[in-house]
Structure 1
Amino acid sequence: MKVKHNDNSLLIEVAAFIATLFKERLDSKYSFHNLEHTKSVVMGIETICIAEKIDQEKTDILLIVAWFHDAGYIGGCENHEKRSAKIALEFLQDRNISANIRQKISDLILATRFNYIPKNQLEKIIKDADNAHLANENYLDSLEQLRKEWGNSINKKYSNTDWFILNIEFLKKHQYYTKFAQKEWQNLKEKNMELIEKKLQNI
């Protein structure tokens, strides 16, 4: 069972489709959930799949999921995962991708929901890739982009104190699921948490 439609050409089509979709239809108020974040998740998938020795077919499925997982933001934040899955399903059906593969991709997109606990290896990989930014050097920048997005899109505005406390609590609860992320990203995430704690102390 293969993803088919010449896997490489399909991934190129997917990437181009999402880039165009976001350019034409994503509101600029989404300063975090945009093409840059999507590309970061794609890179996270590539990194984890190489480290965990995931076969090419599963890697391709996960890469498609990464490209589509926030496509639903073109219709707003609420229930965006369901919209993302619908957009992916329509795109893949038009290219005669098998029903079995389409279902896997849809299920994995829904696994990116905020409080969802992953139940298998592929779900663990997409969850970790979606949170790769927590371990990035530019984490504080992405945090500001998210604060700006929440202020503009869902009218949630936070003082520095409240914002730092909220994110420290999130980082304490958050966990990585794959062996790679636990080994390579956990310490970096904790360092980022220390940076926020210092900022909180200096307010």
Structure 2
Amino acid sequence: MNYHKLLEQVKDYVLNYYKAHDTTNFHYHNAEHTEDVVTAAAKIANHYQLNDHDYFIVTAAAWFHDLGYMVSITNHEDEGIKIATTFFKEHQLDDEDIKLIAGCITATKMPQSPITLLEQIICDADLYNLGTDNFFKKDKKLLKEYNVLHNADMTKTEWWTKTVKFLEAQYYHTDYAKLLLNDTKEKNLQELKDRLARNEEDEPVEAPAIVQEPSTPLAVAEAEEEQGKKKKKDKGKDKNKPDKGIETMFRISSSNHQRLSDMADRKAHIMITVNSIILSAIISLVLRRLDAYGYLIVPSFILLTVSLIAMTFSILSTRPSIPKGTFTLDDVNEKRVNLLFFGNFYKMKLEDFNYGMQKMMQEKDFLYGSLIRDLYAQGVVLGRKYHLLRVAYNVFMFGLIVSVLAFIVAFIFFNHQLPEVAHVKNK
């Protein structure tokens, strides 16, 4: 199955479906929102390095998850599943894959109920905007759509009250979304609470047909101006504090490095275990019988050498390297030392370490510099690990091929020695 080609067909179908229907009243649930969710789903999926099949399931579900609004605003998930099922059956997609896509769409029903990683990804992608700076812009469109579609007259204050309750109950499911979006989501929640506390003017959002109301754009302009002043004020107060986005970047990068390091350790463990079994088998079963099976000497020693070399490189990839564990006050004052890694301070006195940490926490440049050095050091260690592992796997792969060929050649061309040896022993 060419998933990339089918995904392009899905994109064309969904966008054309929106164009073929009247979306005038859908200020939020429209093609723009769908494309935003697809982009977010792809971003999260790429973080988890999904294979082509799983990536297709997630992004295909993202394309269809809100398409049902064009049919029904009360049961749009089920309608979207029907549209998706019809489309994929026409394109001969497996029934099992269609069920997976339907499961992802169903998981986005409120309250969200994801079980698998794929369902968690699309749920977080659907509410991705809650943790972004575009939240208030999107929320404004959602209120406008709600009033139009439900013929309601809900005020901003009433809507914000409901939104606060929703944000307090909502949580992200994937670690990626938690690290990347939670801080901004909490910031947006606090901003909503502040707006409610200020008792902003209750004013309903009018339907699109009523565009001559002069108070609406004025109120919007005043609100945006007030919000801009508050942001400038907050920025002035917190200019010396680390930026949340930068902190999130370091957390995600460090988490990725740790995950890659764990993967390398598991790969090394597999290689060590397999070669230990091979070495045990050769030593206990083959070497003791080489006097009777002399033609197996060469292939046996080839396999023995290959296993030994592969195991050695695997062990080297996991062998820890610890620095001297000391630093000087000049290193701290010149901001040259990375106090975030234990190898740089484990032999120092607590007083010296405390002095260095206090100085680092007081100076943003020192803190960020330490984080950068720590991230770089992790990358260097990872590079060495994966280089040694690659050598180990290459030696094992090619060596195993050569060993098997050597055994085959020995059996075919030198197996005649066996009866001669047996005959000598009988004499």
Q: Same fold judged by TM-score > 0.5?
A: yes
- Picking from 5, 22, 38, the partner of 2:34 is 38
- 1:201 deviates by 2.3
d(CA) in 2 for partners of 1:43, 1:127: 13
- How is 1:151-166 mapped onto 2 (pairs within 5 angstroms)? 151-166=147-162
- Picking from 6, 11, 28, the partner of 1:10 is 6
Rg larger in structure = 2
Helix, strand or coil at the partner of 2:186: helix
Answer yes or no: is the 8 Å Cα contact 2:41–2:122 preserved in 1: yes
Answer yes or no: is the 8 Å Cα contact 1:26–1:73 preserved in 2: no
- How is 1:158-177 mapped onto 2 (pairs within 5 angstroms)? 158-177=154-173
- TM-score w.r.t. length of structure 2: 0.46
Which residue matches 1:92?
A: 88
Q: Which amino acid aligns with 2:62?
A: A
- 1:117 deviates by 1.6
Does residue 101 (structure 1) correspond to residue 97 (structure 2)? The answer is: yes
- How is 1:107-122 mapped onto 2 (pairs within 5 angstroms)? 107-122=103-118
- 1:26 deviates by 4.1
Does residue 134 (structure 1) correspond to residue 150 (structure 2)? The answer is: no
Q: Which amino acid aligns with 1:56?
A: D
Question: Whose relative contact order is higher, 1 or 2, with alpha carbons under 8 Å and at least 6 apart?
Answer: 1
Answer yes or no: is the 8 Å Cα contact 1:30–1:149 preserved in 2: yes
- TM-score w.r.t. length of structure 1: 0.94
d(CA) in 1 for partners of 2:51, 2:23: 36
d(CA) in 2 for partners of 1:56, 1:93: 20
- 1:55 deviates by 2.0
Contiguous gaps of at least 5 residues in structure 2: 201-427
Does residue 55 (structure 1) correspond to residue 51 (structure 2)? The answer is: yes
Does residue 22 (structure 1) correspond to residue 24 (structure 2)? The answer is: no
Q: Which has the higher mean CA deviation after the structures are superposed, 52-61 or 37-46?
A: 52-61
Show CA shifts across 1:118-150 (max 9, x none): 122111111100000101211101101000111
- 1:200 deviates by 1.6
- Picking from 161, 180, 187, the partner of 1:184 is 180
- 1:97 deviates by 0.7
Q: Which amino acid aligns with 1:100?
A: E
Residue-pair matches, total: 199
d(CA) in 2 for partners of 1:95, 1:45: 23
- 1:101 deviates by 0.7
Which residue matches 2:249?
A: none
- 1:166 deviates by 0.8
d(CA) in 2 for partners of 1:10, 1:24: 21
Cα-Cα RMSD: 1.2
Answer yes or no: is the 8 Å Cα contact 2:131–2:182 preserved in 1: yes
- How is 1:54-93 mapped onto 2 (pairs within 5 angstroms)? 54-93=50-89
Helix, strand or coil at the partner of 1:185: helix
Answer yes or no: is the 8 Å Cα contact 1:29–1:153 preserved in 2: yes
- 1:156 deviates by 3.4
d(CA) in 2 for partners of 1:26, 1:60: 28
Which residue matches 1:147?
A: 143
Percent identity for Structure 1 against Structure 2? 29
d(CA) in 1 for partners of 2:72, 2:98: 23
- 1:60 deviates by 1.0
Answer yes or no: is the 8 Å Cα contact 2:160–2:192 preserved in 1: yes
d(CA) in 2 for partners of 1:157, 1:107: 35
